[in-house]
Amino acid sequence: MTVEKQIEELLNPPLQLQVLHQSSPTTEQESQTQLDLDIEEKVCCPKCDSKALYKRGFSRHGEQQYNCKKCNHWFYPDAKWKIFEKDKTIACPHCSSNDCFRRGKEENGTQNYSCKDCNKYFCVHPRLDKEGREIVCPQCNSIKYWLNGIVSKKQQYRCKDCRRTYILNAFGRDDLNLDNISCRWCNSKNFVRRGVGKTKKQKCVCKDCKKQFTVGAERPDILYAPQDFDFEHDVWTANHLGYEDGIHHHYKLNFSYIKQSWLKYYSKKFILYLSSTRLAFATLIGKVGYINVFSRFLLGQGYNQEFEEINRILIIDYLAYLKINKYSYSQYTHCISTLKTLFETGTFNHWFIIEPALIRPEDWAKKPKHNPRYIPEYVMKQVAQHIEHLPEPVMRMLLVDIECGFRIGELTRLKLDCLKSDGKEGWYIQYQMYKMNKEHTKPISNELAKVIKEQQIYIKQLFGTSFSSLFCGRARGHSKGKDKGKFIPVKQIMSAQAFGRYLNRLSLDFKIKDSSDNIWNFQTHQFRHTVGTRMINAGVPQHIIQKYLGHESPEMTMRYAHIHDHILRKEMEKYHETRVTNFQGETVMLEETILSADNDLEWFTKNIQARALEHGYCGRPKLLGNCDIPGFDGCYNCPHWRTNKHFLPVLRDTLERTSKVIEKARNCGWELQVTKNEPIQHNLAKVIASLEVSSDE
């Protein structure tokens, strides 16, 4: 067969094959036609269930659209007919009906639904998750929630009612049986789950005492205390030791960490002895903690003796243990001072016998230089600009702290009736210094008194007379989401942590920065240092600052008061300007501040002959009578003569004339004149040299 015939057969197939090809449909076409017929039989209106439908073309996605003849509803089914399957896990939020249908999805993938009963559209999440578990808030048992992102590859939810976030079966802990669990602080069963910690253990929060605890923590953390005091029990409360109830209600002394029975017994006696001296309860908690450190050290050393066998070698090993474990200077000092006090108290009260002088002066670490903790004025100006964005109670609380510089415990526990009048249109604030266990007062400005009156009205309107504190706390669960920063008052004292969070949130939201362009991190005690620094730079005497801040020693006041560089330079210039010397060129303590008060001025005029001279003035006491030195030249040898740098031109001129007189007298052989003027020349030279050095500095 030639090539031309082969090409012709390919282009013109036989008639039989053409008829067969045209008259025999493919299997795929038959299947598609049958599927279309089945679909048309199943289609019904999702609104009225009618099958009387019109076909209305195709959507842009290629799906057949239908129009109901009965209710005129337009719709189109998807390929798998899920639109007509009722989802029994969905309930309409408007009428609680389960007769709901899917209505497509949002751009973020959220499923839309339509209620057949009330004919309303809504977007809601299912009641069950992918694994069939019911999605219920563990705190309030609400089924209303929002999706809140993915945490640790698990879906996180946020309750619409109580606003808390939760994860179903987080780390496999949702199936944990909590029937036999109680609060470690108050033994209450009224608690809720509060997430899982880094150790993958369930955390809970007690609704009665508002404290958090961890289920299955590997430590003796059962802090339930008996109603009545029991010396043998390892947990003591503030009420057991006679401290004020309500202030320290959540504080407890826990001796269960002390493993040695003999050390635990004497530690309890030691704490009882200290409580009789009315130390602050927080100080007693610290003492127990420092004894815990010594107990851990003894346990690691395998020491199983009692106090009588403790020697200097063991103490040296303990000091090395503290340094190896990098305890701070404060922790190191408190650990050895508490141990030293325990040894001395036990020996003094004949509890036990121990080797004397186990802890010696050379064991104390060198005190480091403390960096100033005050807030720079540059930052304080930014705080003043944005302080109105704080909730009103927190803003008033901050204004009180900025002016008074309270310790945070004193600030949060101010009484509602703390404002006192002095009867002369002046105001004082009265408060309890819990650290020193004494009452104290501070004078305040009239502006701050108005702020406190506003807060008193605010508290009385909320709680009447049932709440005795000036500042209240805020409800939990309003630090995130749309209620972030919202202050919902509750009848409890505000915690130091909550107050600090409000300040740092303000710093972060409004970019409050230091001079290095870093966001400022507020600490509540910084305002106390700022008050001391402001006062000392304003020229307030140190003993007044000590009285105002309630310090017992001037050394503590100096830690709070930082002198700015420009103030130091200004004071040094003032010192050099007013520095007074005597006839020997020595500095004498006669400053301008002598004339600063009326009483001092009266004493000065009655007792000092303040006679002005052309080269200084006379400081001769009146008790010695009138000056009998003739002329001004005799003042240069008088111990009562005073001068300063303002008289330098006169002094230089006098020295030059005296030198010429001495030179001429020597040339002429006048020994009497030389003898008389040489002391004057010598004293003038020393005085001028001393004042010139002061000017150069």
Residues identified as active-site: 407, 435, 525, 528, 551, 560
DSSP H or E run through 65: strand 64-68
Question: What is the 8-class DSSP label of residue 413?
Answer: T
CA–CA gap between residue 527 and residue 562 (Å, rounded): 13
Q: Take residue 14 and report the two structure tokens written for it.
A: 């036989």
DSSP H or E run through 566: helix 565-578
| Number of C-beta neighbours around residue 421 at 10 A | 10
Three-state secondary structure along 122-175? Answer: EECCCCECCCCCECCCCCCCCCCEEEEEEECCEEEEEECCCCCEEECCHHHCCC
Helices 526-537/542-549 angle, 10° precision: 150
CA–CA gap between residue 417 and residue 420 (Å, rounded): 8
Burial 307-322 (b: 16+ CB within 10 A, else e): beebeeebbeebbebb
CA–CA gap between residue 588 and residue 565 (Å, rounded): 26
CA–CA gap between residue 97 and residue 106 (Å, rounded): 22
Helices 392-404/496-509 angle, 10° precision: 100
Asked if 395 contacts 386 with a C-beta cutoff of 8 angstroms, the reply is: no
Asked if 673 contacts 665 with a C-beta cutoff of 8 angstroms, the reply is: yes
CA–CA gap between residue 30 and residue 28 (Å, rounded): 5
Calculate ∠ Cα 358-362-366, nearest 5°: 130
Beta partners for residue 519, in sequence order: 513
CA atoms within 13 A on the CB side of 5: 2
Helices 281-301/329-348 angle, 10° precision: 90
CA–CA gap between residue 309 and residue 358 (Å, rounded): 12
CA nearest to 398, candidates 406, 439, 648: 406
Asked if 642 contacts 625 with a C-beta cutoff of 8 angstroms, the reply is: no
DSSP string, 277-336: TT--HHHHHHHHHHHHHHHHHHHHHT----GGG--HHHHHHHHHHHHHTT--HHHHHHHH
Asked if 145 contacts 460 with a C-beta cutoff of 8 angstroms, the reply is: no
Question: What is the 8-class DSSP label of residue 431?
Answer: E
